[in-house]
Amino acid sequence: MPLGYCPVCEVQMMLDYLDALAAVMRKVNTSEWRHAWRSARIDLEVEIQCCEKYSIEELRWQAEHPEIDVSDRYTSTKALERIWDEYSYIGKSKSSVSYDSMYAGNKTAKKNGNSYLNKAVYFDEAFSEAPCQCRAYEKLCRDSPEYEPGRHACPSPENWLDTSLADENLYNLEQMRIYSTTDLDTFQLWEEDPSTLPEDHEDAAVMHPYWDEIDNYCEELRTSEELFIREGFDMFCARSDAIAILIDEKSREFVDMRLLKAEDDWEDEDECGDQFRDGLHWASFGQCKRT
């Protein structure tokens, strides 16, 4: 959606874009162009809903200020007029009857030769009459400080189920494979050459008996006051898929750990890539904690 333009200009650019897509689709009607058409059509529908919302406010303001002439202003109301007058791709219903339910056919019933099942989706009257609530992205995203709950938002934030993997590092850690050893030389060999990791691992980290120790260990890195430690930890979480842990042979206590990439497909993303990869900065998580 174009930004920074008046409603009429935004709508006109969208209409021109749809016209261009329609011209291409008459010659090359492939899935890529159909997908582009659907995306542009959805953008226009969102813009229509926003214009309808703002048009109500414009008409209310004009009624309160009849002495001000706004006939030469490119308002949302004029944008809507342009859409309905010039756009030939929007299907207009020939019936003036408003429907409060939608019926859907049943494919299984049709295959079996039976009549369509009489099923419908009914909308609550308050829902049907509620105005469209258009929000900018920063007001729609729950993680944004400018977030504004919508009318269907959960009344209590405590009841939200986080499905966005907002804490991606923790999620990545939970899914990593675990390799444990009581031998320090083996532990160091795994760090220097992850290809020496054994074929068999010990299940996902979150299911491992030492998961609590691993989680507590990483929590100190995630919340470190040192920025370079937090950034390094984030980088390793994103790049790694395995955790090597060192266990004390006598006490069976957790000693140290490494985040590793089981397959050697590291890519240097910056000038420090080789240093991070070769362990010059992160020779030991324990050393980072003590820094």
Question: pTM for the whole thing?
Answer: 0.38
What was the pLDDT predicted at 70?
Answer: 80
Q: What is the mean pLDDT of residues 200-204?
A: 83
Residue 233 has pLDDT above 90, yes or no: no
Half-sphere exposure of 65 (CA within 13 A, CB side): 9
Most confident of 19-33, 84-98, 173-187, 274-288: 173-187
CA 168 to chain centre: 12
> Taking the mean position of all CA atoms in its chain, how far away is CA 107?
33
Between residues 181 and 159, the one the model is more confident about: 181
Query: How far is 100 from 187, CA to CA, in rounded Å?
Result: 67
End-to-end alpha-carbon separation of the chain, Å? Answer: 48
Per-residue confidence (pLDDT) for residue 175, from 0 to 100: 85
Residues 87-94, mean pLDDT to the nearest whole number: 48
Taking residues 53-72, report their average pLDDT: 85
Q: How confident is the model at residue 21 (pLDDT cuts 50, 70, 90)?
A: confident
141/289: higher pLDDT: 141
What is the token pair recorded at 132? 């469209």
Give the model's confidence band at 156: pLDDT under 50 very low, under 70 low, under 90 confident, else very high: low
